[in-house]
Amino acid sequence: MSEVRVAVLGASGWMGKVHTMAYQAFPQFFGRSWGAARVAVLVEANPDAARDLAFRAPGAKIMRAWLDAVQDPDIDLIDICLPDSLHYEVAKAALLAGKHVYCEKPLADTAAQARELADIAAAKGLITRVGHAFPRNPVHDLARQIIAEGEIGEIKLFKACQHVDMYGDPLAPFMWRADGALAPTGIVGDTGTHVFSFMDFLVGRVTELIADTYITTPRRPVVSGLGYGEQTSLTGSEAWADVTNPDGANILCNFANGARGVIDFSRVATGRKFMQAYEVYGTKGSLVYTYDEINRLRFYTNDDATGRRGFREIDVGPENSTFRAFLPLPNFALGYNETKIIEAAEVIRSIITGQPMWPTFETGHHICQIVDACMDSARLKRWVTIP
Ligand SMILES: NC(=O)c1ccc[n+]([C@@H]2O[C@H](COP(=O)([O-])OP(=O)(O)OC[C@H]3O[C@@H](n4cnc5c(N)ncnc54)[C@H](O)[C@@H]3O)[C@@H](O)[C@H]2O)c1
């Protein structure tokens, strides 16, 4: 197979657009040796949104029902960009139909569901991927390499956070992300899973944790037709809906390698349009990252001479993993959409060549275990062990 035929599900949404773009864009940067993809089907349930889909992927079939794409014999890869609560059902149907699956995060509503998906994929020899794109920024490949080569010694402490202010305003409209029926774990599955993906990528498995989750605004006005984070003036006649999943969480965790973690994330941090940061402290050095300087890693090492020690700033560039495919100079900045292009390229390469990649549904399962543990711990108000 030299060309993977893809169906993008939820095609008019934010991720649907980004994934559709990524399949078309990646050969421009990575060349044909990574393979090629053709977006052959776009699935969108909302007829208004679907109206302008055709131009995004010329020649693609436009469908309303995801099951039609799953049953289409001319599709190799099902790409799930649907609301969270559909991920498990659609991924399972796709795997059982013999399709490779690339699923947006969170992989499933529970770890048990994620385990089932990973087992089906393994039994059928299918390629799987979860859409944790942030760690695929080459700056994090460098962080992982520095850790793997022992340059910061044994990791003792991992601190991380991710915040947005989408729901900082108590009058910000209700959307599916706040609905426990459509997004059962709320911010934990939405944003927490991104932080958990960094934990898996940089530190390793989590063995136990204690979490406090909270809802800041129990009811929100319902305004239809708004996208992520969009606001509008209220008329006063809106219906109100209950927020039925967490707005934020604070977590302490322990890793299998003895490191400790301090994590917080929320959608209510007024003024924080997008904040993502981590700090990794080891016995010989440390690493510090913030999304505000998206391709820059701060590295401290005890190997520097006394009196000359301090954090050095490394701007990743063409010498660092996938950066060269995009730009010949450091500090020109790769952004979010490039990480999605890298992700799509890795999925297609893995299908065509069998090259291993991260994160598959195995990693997705561990991340779902962490989500389960957070929800259990918050409910039980105690430490929870991860099997
Ligand atoms: N990896 C990331 O950085 C990232 C970022 C944003 C969202 N996400 C994830 O991507 C997924 C989608 O999020 P989004 O922001 O694109 O949402 P969105 O609301 O913008 O898009 C979802 C789309 O799915 C369509 N849809 C809903 N139910 C459907 C059905 N049964 N059949 C066909 N289409 C249907 C909607 O009409 C909409 O167009 C979520 O799981 C979210 O957690 C991941």
Q: What is the 3-state secondary structure (H, E, C) of 298-360?
A: EEEECCCCCCCCCCEEEECCCCCCCHHHHCCCCCCCCCHHHHHHHHHHHHHHHHHHCCCCCCC
The pLDDT of residue 159 is: 98
Query: Is the domain defined by 136-334+359-385 classed in CATH 3.30.930.10?
Result: no
Distance between Cα 374 and ligand 1 center (Å): 23
Asked whether 44 and 12 are in contact (CB, 8 A), the reply is yes
Which atom, in ligand 1's list, is nearest to the CA of 134?
A: 3
N- to C-terminal Cα distance for the chain?
Answer: 39
Ligand 1 atom 32: residue of nearest CA: 45
Asked whether 384 and 377 are in contact (CB, 8 A), the reply is yes
The pLDDT of residue 226 is: 77
Quick: pLDDT tens for 145-174.
999 999 999 999 999 999 999 999 999 999
Q: What is the mean pLDDT of residues 42-48?
A: 95
Which residue is associated with the tokens 């003792």? 156
Strands 100-103 and 248-255: unpaired
Query: Is the domain defined by 3-134 classed in CATH 3.40.50.720?
Result: yes
Q: Out of 41-55, 71-85, 219-233, which region has the weakest mean confidence (pLDDT)?
A: 219-233
Ligand 1 atom 20: residue of nearest CA: 13
* Percent of the chain predicted with pLDDT > 70: 100
The pLDDT of residue 224 is: 82
Both tokens of 68, joined, read 């039609």
Q: What is the mean pLDDT of residues 116-125?
A: 98
Type of residue numbered 315: D
Phi, psi for residue 334 in degrees, rounded to 5: -90, 140
Q: Which residue has the higher pLDDT, 1 or 79?
A: 79
Distance between Cα 207 and ligand 1 center (Å): 31
Ligand 1 atom 25: residue of nearest CA: 10
Q: Which residue has the higher pLDDT, 31 or 230?
A: 31
**pLDDT band with cut points at 50, 70 and 90 for residue 175:** confident
Residues with CB under 6 A from ligand 1: 9-10, 12-16, 43-46, 49, 66, 81-84, 86, 104-105, 131, 133, 190, 228
pLDDT at position 244 over 90: yes
Residue from 118, 123, 124 nearest 103 by CA: 118
The pLDDT of residue 50 is: 83
The pLDDT of residue 43 is: 98
Asked whether 238 and 221 are in contact (CB, 8 A), the reply is yes
Quick: pLDDT tens for 259-315.
999 999 999 999 999 999 999 999 999 999 999 999 999 999 999 999 999 999 999
The pLDDT of residue 20 is: 98
Q: What is the mean pLDDT of residues 134-152?
A: 98
Q: What is the mean pLDDT of residues 102-117?
A: 97
**pLDDT band with cut points at 50, 70 and 90 for residue 225:** confident
All CATH 3.40.50.720 domain ranges in the chain, comma separated: 3-134
Which DSSP letter does residue 190 get? Answer: I
All CATH 3.30.360.10 domain ranges in the chain, comma separated: 136-334+359-385
Q: What is the mean pLDDT of residues 162-189?
A: 93
